Chain A
Amino acid sequence: MGAGGAGLRAALEAGKRVKTAVVSKLYPTRSHTGAAQGGMCAALANVEEDSWEWHAFDTVKGSDFLADQDAVDVMCREAVTSVLELERMGLPFNRTPDGKIDQRRFGGHTRNHGEAAVKRACYAADRTGHMILQTLFQQCNKEGVEFYNEFFVVDLVMVDGACAGIVAYEIATGELHVFRSKSVLFATGGFGKMYKITSNAHTLTGDGPGVVFRKGLPLEDMEFFQFHPTGLYRLGILLSEAARGEGGILRNSDGERFMERYAPTIKDLAPRDMVSRAEFFEIKEGRGAGPQQDYLLLDLTEVDPEVIETKLPDITEFARTYLDVDPVKEGVPIVPTAHYAMGGIPTTIGAEVRRNHAGDIVDGFYAAGECACVSVHGANRLGTNSLLDIVVFGRRGGLSMAEYAATHKQLPVPDDAHVEAENWIVELLEGDKREPSHAIRSDLQDVMWDKVSVSREDEGLKHALERIDSLKARFAKAHVKDQSKIFNTELVEHMELGYLLDMAEATTVSALARTESRGGHYREDHQMREDDHWLKHTFIKRAEDGGTELGYMDVTMGRYEPVERKY
């Protein structure tokens, strides 16, 4: 389910072995993998000395030590073959003068455990995600993978605790379909649309994790949401970290390179949580730029214009198109933008979905990519590691689900598998209730932005929870006006809002409970990391009484012991 990088990579792997179909609410090439810009890290050492262990160390340190180190090792080791595989599939990487895959610097990626920034990100201009998505789509077509495009997932078919298929709403006809299958993989992406300012697509509404949550299965580490430090002012459109990798500098209203104060060694290339927090403080302390002092500036004027035009063409165009600002000549107004969910559906390193915080698994059910939580990103993901995550764990998920399908019988799907979803849809369409979903969504985005974003504290989180409760009550009384069957996009948006409300609730409850600061989760009232008590993963699930239930799972440690995180 889902046709971004993780879904397509999984389909490619499974499709070689068993009958495979990709079900997606969008045409595959519309998926948000295509918006990823800067690169995909792998210790190829094509440009300078590097090793996958250094990559693993950076990833663990970047995660504020919450990542599971066995999973990180798998990802960083398999990064190298994953990049080479993509090259073999035809991905047009930028090249070094001697024709090898070129590499560049990226935030938090360092040489020899933090000495200096290292050139590790393999890239194709600033459209690496686009190239990955296109290349995987090309390969799926070549292999004849079957696609069901514009089918929206509304339920998971469970038989005796094991997965037996999905229920999906066909947007073109308004019909419900039950897909019977021996194994199912969710690769449905993130849920940044719960925030007002986000780099995420309109369609990133947490559909997969939403379905899982409603089935009473847990979500992991939902309090950790990444805010990317360079979103276009007002709009949140992403400007790649590659801009800083190529020499861009962040400045406040005084023209000061403020990151020197927060991360003296790697400065502007500190991990995203630290840079976004630094921006938050700069603005809060009155050093924001502009008439309202509410943004900062990404200064590329000292970068060779040739580099800007050839290695950062897309983001340059975004600044010119949407803000009327030319990065070659002037600073680009930027703000933190809601970017990436570190949390999601808990999985093993084989992409098997976990049933509970004891670590048991759900037979036949898999998840990969942003909707999943392996956890390789812990409390803060490093730049480029999401593209890596989707190809490494997409491939692993495809293998796991194919093996499972080849060795298990199809479970009998009950005749009424679609009924719960059908009732939900009928309920949304019927009645004299009148509030449209737009107003509820917009209120949700406001409160999440104000109270559950870069900086959080007890009172604000409690206020947000109350608001979410009242928004849920309004949603229960809301109503879809459009009664049509064919492309009823109001109904789809309404169902998406239902998932977003669940994501917001899970995020806020998890954030309220975690009384420490770690990675992307910063508590003004608990500013220190508390390893003695909080070096553990949060599991949240829907309780039988309609509330939520928290549980915790130990972090899998490895070579790296937690140390203070300085850059």
Chain B
Amino acid sequence: MEVELRLLRYNPERDSEPHFENYTIEADPMDRLLDCLHVVKWKQDSSLALRRSCGHGICGSDAMVINGVNRLACKVLIKDLSQPITVEPIRGLPHIKDFIVDMEPFFAGYKEVKPWLIVDEDEKEPPRERIQSPEDRERYDDTTKCILCAACTTSCPIYWADGNYVGPAAIVNAHRFIFDSRDTGGRERLEILSGKGGAFKCRTAFNCTDACPRGIKVTLAIQEVKRAALYDSI
């Protein structure tokens, strides 16, 4: 079938500002949007710049605004998209070129919440496994799925407007440890997330939950973090 693409193009070495360009290609209804972008790049305009790697929704490279919503280009099929298919870079991060944005502020927000296991223990002891019940393991399962694609964070209107907000993905990764029974750093993180750029910036727009390609209940996770911070309940 014929597919109409409307791509936001921007080459900082040539263009004064981003603009849309239209492309028509042949595709199969079961093709991924990423396949179509490759067809454009490989057959029509080799300068088209995008990030991609795994091609099946695991690596988180190719989050884009697709027909107005944040999706991974490798996880949406042509048959599910209305035409012309409009593709833009994710919002709220500095635009570099075509579908490439500067990811550094995103990872800086992530690192602010100390997303690693914090434990008080003697490093010298020989490694042995800690015991964790299946129920305790289940408690934080949802937020372990995060692939740091930034689809949630860059769909959030608060994040667009407020440069201090760490954003949904950072809170998701804090949640993953706050509710892990092995972790003892919950208070530390809740203190960070109770601060100016933290979880209380969230106004429950639910864009993040809709955007998450891993199906994580992002807004719920943020609410759980807020509740833990308010009632000191972890």
| Interface residues, chain A, with chain B CB atoms under 8 Å away | 26-27, 29-32, 34-35, 44, 81, 83-85, 87-90, 92-101, 124, 127, 130-131, 134, 138-139, 141-142, 172, 201-203, 235, 237, 314, 318, 321-324, 436, 438, 480-482, 484-490
Contact = CB atoms under 8 A, between A and B. Distances in A.
Most buried by A among B32, B48, B117, B131: B117
Interface string B122-158: 0000011111111011001100111110000000000
A95 B59 contact: no
14 contacts: A27-B148, A30-B60, A30-B61, A31-B53, A84-B127, A84-B128, A90-B177, A95-B132, A202-B53, A322-B56, A322-B77, A438-B42, A486-B12, A487-B49
Given A92-B144, A322-B56, 10 more contacts: A26-B59, A31-B53, A87-B129, A99-B132, A139-B116, A141-B116, A201-B59, A322-B32, A484-B13, A490-B46
B54 A35 contact: yes
Contacts of A322: 30, 32, 56, 77
B162 interface: no
Given A99-B132, A201-B54, A438-B42, A88 B47 contact: no
A98 B131 contact: yes
A26 B128 contact: no
Interface in B167-210: 177, 180, 182-183
A224 to B, nearest CB: 24
Given A32-B59, A34-B147, A92-B180, A481 B47 contact: yes
Contacts of A88: 127, 129-130
A139 B32 CA distance: 34
B18 interface: no
Contact of B137 (A83, A95, A481): A95
B111 to A, nearest CB: 6
Contacts of B50: 489
A124 B132 CA distance: 13
B144 A481 contact: no
A87 B46 contact: no
Nearest to B130: A87
Nearest to B12: A486
The 8 closest A-B pairs by CB, nearest first: A90-B117, A99-B131, A438-B42, A138-B116, A84-B127, A142-B116, A482-B47, A490-B46
A490 B47 contact: yes
A29 B127 contact: no
A235 B35 CA distance: 11
Contacts of A139: 116
B7 to A, nearest CB: 15
Nearest to A46: B129
Contacts of B48: 489
A97 to B, nearest CB: 7
Nearest to B80: A321
A95 B134 contact: yes
B77 A321 contact: yes
Instruction: Bin chain B's interface residue count.
Output: 35 or more
Contact of A35 (B52, B58, B75, B117): B58
A138 B115 contact: yes
B81 to A, nearest CB: 14
Contacts of B51: 30
Contact of A90 (B52, B100, B148, B182): B182
Interface string B99-116: 010010001000100111
A34 B58 CA distance: 7
Nearest to A441: B42
Contacts of B54: 30, 32, 34-35, 201-202
Contact of A124 (B59, B75, B103, B144): B144
B159 to A, nearest CB: 19
Contacts of B223: none
A84 B128 CA distance: 6
B6 interface: no
Contacts of A127: 145
A35 to B, nearest CB: 5
B145 A438 contact: no
A487 B147 contact: no
A30 B132 contact: no
B67 interface: no
B147 A29 contact: yes
Contacts of B52: 202
Nearest to B13: A484
Contacts of B77: 321-322
A472 B12 CA distance: 33
B30 A100 contact: no
A324 B30 contact: yes
B57 to A, nearest CB: 8
Contacts of B136: 99
